[in-house]
Structure 1
C-alpha cells in the first residue's frame, strides 16, 4: 500500500501479521473492536479483498474481538471485488456486499458516499445489547432512534440511495470517470497512486514536489496552488492529516498525497480535463511552488480548520 506505483489489486488489505502483533502487544488491555475501511481512503482509495475480510474476521474471532466495517464506500469495494477477485466475477454487487458484511459484527456508514445523499448516516450491529447502549447516546446527542437527527426527506433519500448505489451500470460509469482522470494524469506524466481507486485519484506529492520538506506540508501547498490555478478544490492526505505524536512532533506518513475526490453524478468528462490542465500547468512550474507555515493549529482534527501562510513569497 505504501508503494505508489505498485499494481497490487487490493492495496487496502489489512496486514494480518501486523494486526496479530498489535493484538498480542495489548493482550489483557481492552481492544473494543477492529475497523476495516472499504475502500481505504488513507491508502489511496484502495479496495479490500473478500479473502482479506474473511481472514480478518477469523483472526478477530480467535481473540474474541468484534469487527466493524467502515462502509462509506462499500459498494465501490464490492465492485472492485467483482472485477479483480476471480471467484466473484459472476456474482452481483448486491450479493458480494451481502457476503462482505457477513464477516463483520457491525458497520458505520456515512451515507454521503455510497448512498449518494447530501447528509446522514447510521450505525448497524448484530448485538441487540450494544445497539441499546448506542441508542442511549443517540438520544442524548442526535435524536430518537427512529430518525437519529435526520429529517424525513433525508431518510427517504438514503433508502433510495442504498438501492441505487449498488446499480452496476452506475458503478461502472462512476468508477470509469475516476479511472479516466487517473489515466489522463498519467499520460501527462503527473505522478499518481496506482492503481486508481474508486472515489478519487491521488497525486503522489513526494514525486510532484520533492523539494518541499514534509514539515512544510507539501500536499496542502499543492492543494492551495491548484485552487488558485484552476478553481479545483482538492484535499491533503499527508503530514497535516497525520497530526502530532505524543512528543508534539509532526507524524511523517509514508505517503504524501493530494486527493482529487469526484462527486457522484455531478461532473462530465470535460470537467476532468479541466483538472488535468490545472495540474499540468502546476507541474511545469513545480520547482517554484513553496511550502506552508501553520499559523493556527486547533487542538484536535487540525486538518479541518488550521490556517497557513506561504513560507516564502505569495501564493
Structure 2
C-alpha cells in the first residue's frame, strides 16, 4: 500500500482505533511476524504511515483520542480546523489526567498479555454460541461478537429492521446492550426508498478490562433462551425518522405487542430473576 501511495502521490492514513486487536492477530496469524514483538510490529506499521489517528476509548482505554502527523506542513494545514471542533490548540478536549491515562494505555497496548484478552473472550463467546446452534459470524474477530440477525430472526422482513429488533429483544431478555449494524444504520435513498443492508448484525462489543468470563457466560445463556423464543420477536417501525443520522436520533416502535409477549414468556420461565 505504501508503494502504491508513493507511486500516485497519496498520503497513507491509518485509523489505529482497533490497532490492539489487529496487533494480536498479526502476531498470531502472519508467519513473517511471529518472531517480532508487539512493539516491533507497531513500529514497522507506523513507519509506513503519514498520519495515524485513533479513538482512545478503543486504543489506550481513555477518553478522547489522538492524531500523529509526520509533516509540519500538514499540521499547519489541519490546525485551523481544531478551534472549530475542539477549542484552541492549547486547550483542546483532553485534560492532563486523560493524557496521562492515555500514555499508560498506549504503553500497555505493547503488552501481548494485555491485548490478547479481548480476542480470547470474544473467541470463547463465539465458540459457545456455535455449539448451541446460534447464528453468529465466524471466525471470531477482535471488536466483538456479531450475531447474524438475518438468520436469528429470519421471519422479520428487512423493512422492519431485524437487527434493531433483535438488539431490543436482547436488552429486554438480559439487560445486554448491543449495537445494530444493518439496514437501520443506513440512510434512505434521495427518493425516500429504503436501502437494505447486505447483512443484519447485532454487535456485542466487549470493553477491555471491564467484562469477566461470568458476564460472557451470562450473555450466552440469555442468547440461548432468546433463540429458543425467537418467534416471539417482531419488527420495528420508525415513529420519528430524521433525514440525517436516523440511527442516532430516530425513534422506533414495535409493529405489534411482541415486546410485552416476550416479557411475559421471560417471567414465565425466570420469574423476576433480572
Name the TM-score, length of structure 1 as normaliser. Answer: 0.78
The corresponding residue for 1:42 is none
Q: Secondary structure in 2 aligned to 1:123?
A: strand
Question: Does residue 1:301 correspond to 2:241, yes or no?
Answer: no
2:129 counterpart (155, 162, 185): 185
Change (3 A) 1:247 1:97: farther
Instruction: Give, in angstroms, the shift of residue 168 of structure 1.
Output: 0.4
The corresponding residue for 2:119 is 175
2:36 counterpart (59, 73, 91): 91
The corresponding residue for 1:108 is 53
Cα RMSD of the aligned pairs, angstroms, is 1.5
Q: Which moved more, 1:59-68 or 1:214-223?
A: 59-68
Change (3 A) 1:291 1:71: same
1:139 counterpart (83, 93, 97): 83
Q: Any idea what the Cα deviations from partners look like across 1:145-166, whole Å, max 9, x if unmatched?
A: 3452211111111111111122
Contact 1:191 1:204 in 2 (8 A): yes
Name the TM-score, length of structure 2 as normaliser. Answer: 0.90
The corresponding residue for 2:206 is 262
Question: Does residue 1:251 correspond to 2:195, yes or no?
Answer: yes
Instruction: Give, in angstroms, the shift of residue 137 of structure 1.
Output: 1.4
User: How many residues matched?
Assistant: 259
4+ residue stretches of structure 1 with deviation over 3 A? none
Contact 1:83 1:89 in 2 (8 A): yes
2:24 counterpart (69, 79, 94): 79
Change (3 A) 1:268 1:189: same
The corresponding residue for 1:162 is 106
Point out the structure with the larger helix share: 2
Structure 2, unaligned runs of 5 or more: 260-274
Instruction: Give, in angstroms, the shift of residue 82 of structure 1.
Output: 0.5
Q: Secondary structure in 1 aligned to 2:176?
A: coil
CA–CA separation in structure 1 for the residues paired with 2:240 and 2:181 = 19
Structure 1, unaligned runs of 5 or more: 1-55
Q: Any idea what the Cα deviations from partners look like across 1:164-201, whole Å, max 9, x if unmatched?
A: 12210112222211111111111111111111111200
Q: Secondary structure in 2 aligned to 1:107?
A: strand
